[in-house]
Amino acid sequence: MIVTLTANPSVDRTMTFAEPLVPGEVHRAVRVVDQAGGKGVNVARVLALAGHEACAVLPADVADPVIEGLHDAGVHVVNVPTGVRCRVNVTVVEPGGRTTKLNAPGHPPTAEQRAALARALRESSVAGGWVVLAGSLPAGVPPRWYAALVADLKGAGRRVAVDTSGAPLTALLEGAVLPDLIKPNSEELASLTGTSAAVLESDLDEALAAARGLLARGVGAVLLTLGGAGAALVTPDGAWTATPPPITVASTVGAGDSALAGYLLADAAGAEPAERLRYAVAYGSAAAALPGTTMPTPDDLDLYGARSAAYPSPTMPPAHRTDPRSNNG
């Protein structure tokens, strides 16, 4: 089982319009869909749709629509009651796939609730299994909370993947114990290195050098998503790049979450790095081709169109040559 944490869950409401929006005008959607949302929730949904056992840990009451949506998706849920409804985020999809997200602020879990979430992660996961910490932290939650969770979980023998941004990502890399895997996009990696996202997406050498810099700091592996340019995987044993299959973009929401889920699915099947990256790109592309926050199933994949290959990279220093799939990351 793969366990995910969504500290800031939501109901994701996707509104699709037949005509481009004009500011100040009244517009009527042609389709409205509500789904359980949040990055960890999205990862769990993709895993469950692929037939892999997934557990979503999150702060929410039993009667919350997010919980109902996860049960409907076949995801096992461990919830910590909060007494408040999860936020509602709105995604606006216009013709041509242009997507605008309007995110509401979340309800910060109390210190007691955070402690309960940490216990739930340990109790729901197993030694050697993956735990995914994904998404933003609500206002009021210390940015170093993810770093503390990583230390706690790795101390218990779990493998930890993190997908976050901003202050929590910066604080994560300042921690004494770093995750086995992080999944930044170009903007998030740029925020850590001072290089522009545009340069990272157009210059693979620059992107891989930036990712190797994170390994030198102790991160186990980096899964870097580069939008339409594909993705890259950097581990102590080498680097791999992948190009996506041709698609018509419908919505980019959830593409990165799907890429991470695809990587973990391939890892669970014992795939080699190039194949793990190929699955990541195939899943991310499939998500981008679907409307709103619809998550892909295996039937949506174009695995033949997704191509991955090894990329020349210098050998990492011996002190950091750890297998990112090991418990010691």
Percentage above 90 pLDDT, the chain: 76
CA dihedral of residues 128, 129, 132, 133 (deg, nearest 10): -50
**pLDDT at site 317:** 42
140 occurs within a structural domain: yes
**pLDDT at site 235:** 97
CB atoms within 10 A of CB 208: 23
pLDDT digits (tens, 9 = 90+) for 83-130: 999 999 998 988 887 888 898 988 889 999 999 999 999 999 999 999
**pLDDT at site 316:** 42
Domain enclosing residue 117, as ranges: 2-17+31-320
* Catalytic pick among 64, 180, 257, 267: 257
**In this structure, what DSSP letter does residue 228 have?**
G
pLDDT exceeds cutoff 90 at 251: no
Q: Which helix (H) or strand (E) holds 101?
A: strand 99-102
**pLDDT at site 35:** 86
**pLDDT at site 319:** 38
- Half-sphere exposure (CA, 13 Å, Cβ side) for 194? 1
- Judging by DSSP bridges, how do beta strands 10-16 and 31-37 pair with one another? antiparallel
Average pLDDT over residues 14-25: 93
**pLDDT at site 249:** 86
Please report where in the chains the tokens 């994560």 appear, as a residue: 172
Higher pLDDT, 280 or 227: 280
**pLDDT at site 127:** 96
Q: Per-residue confidence at 64, pLDDT binned at 50, 70, 90?
A: very high
**pLDDT at site 311:** 93
Average pLDDT over residues 164-191: 95
* Contact status, residue 174 vs residue 196, Cβ threshold 8 Å: no
pTM of the model: 0.88
pLDDT digits (tens, 9 = 90+) for 286-312: 999 987 778 999 999 999 999 999 997
Instruction: Verify whether residue 257 is a known catalytic residue.
Output: yes
pLDDT exceeds cutoff 80 at 178: yes
142 occurs within a structural domain: yes
**pLDDT at site 289:** 92
Average pLDDT over residues 282-288: 95
- Judging by DSSP bridges, how do beta strands 181-182 and 159-163 pair with one another? parallel
pLDDT exceeds cutoff 70 at 320: no
233 occurs within a structural domain: yes
pLDDT exceeds cutoff 70 at 56: yes
Type of residue at 278: R
222 occurs within a structural domain: yes
326 occurs within a structural domain: no
Type of residue at 13: R
Contacts of 99 (CB under 8 A, 6+ apart): 91, 92, 93, 251, 252, 253
CB atoms within 10 A of CB 148: 16
305, exposed or middle or buried, with CB in 10 Å at 0-12, 13-18, 19+? middle
pLDDT exceeds cutoff 80 at 189: yes
**pLDDT at site 326:** 37
**pLDDT at site 321:** 37
167 occurs within a structural domain: yes
Question: For residues 107 and 31, what is the distance between their CA atoms, to the nearest angstrom?
Answer: 28
Question: For residues 230 and 285, what is the distance between their CA atoms, to the nearest angstrom?
Answer: 9
Average pLDDT over residues 41-48: 96
70 occurs within a structural domain: yes
pLDDT exceeds cutoff 60 at 323: no
Average pLDDT, the chain: 91
23 occurs within a structural domain: no
**pLDDT at site 252:** 83
CATH code where residue 104 lies: 3.40.1190.20
**pLDDT at site 194:** 84
Q: Kindly list the distances between the CA atom of residue 3 and the CA atoms of 58, 149, 175, 211, 315, in Å, as whole numbers in the listed order.
A: 11, 13, 22, 25, 32
> Number of folded domains in the chain?
1
For 216-230, letters b (16+ CB in 10 Å) and e give eebbbbbbbbbbebb
**pLDDT at site 293:** 77
Q: Kindly list the distances between the CA atom of residue 256 and the CA atoms of 223, 235, 251, in Å, as whole numbers in the listed order.
A: 10, 19, 12
**Cα angle, residue 120 at apex, residues 79 and 266 outer, rounded to 5°:** 95
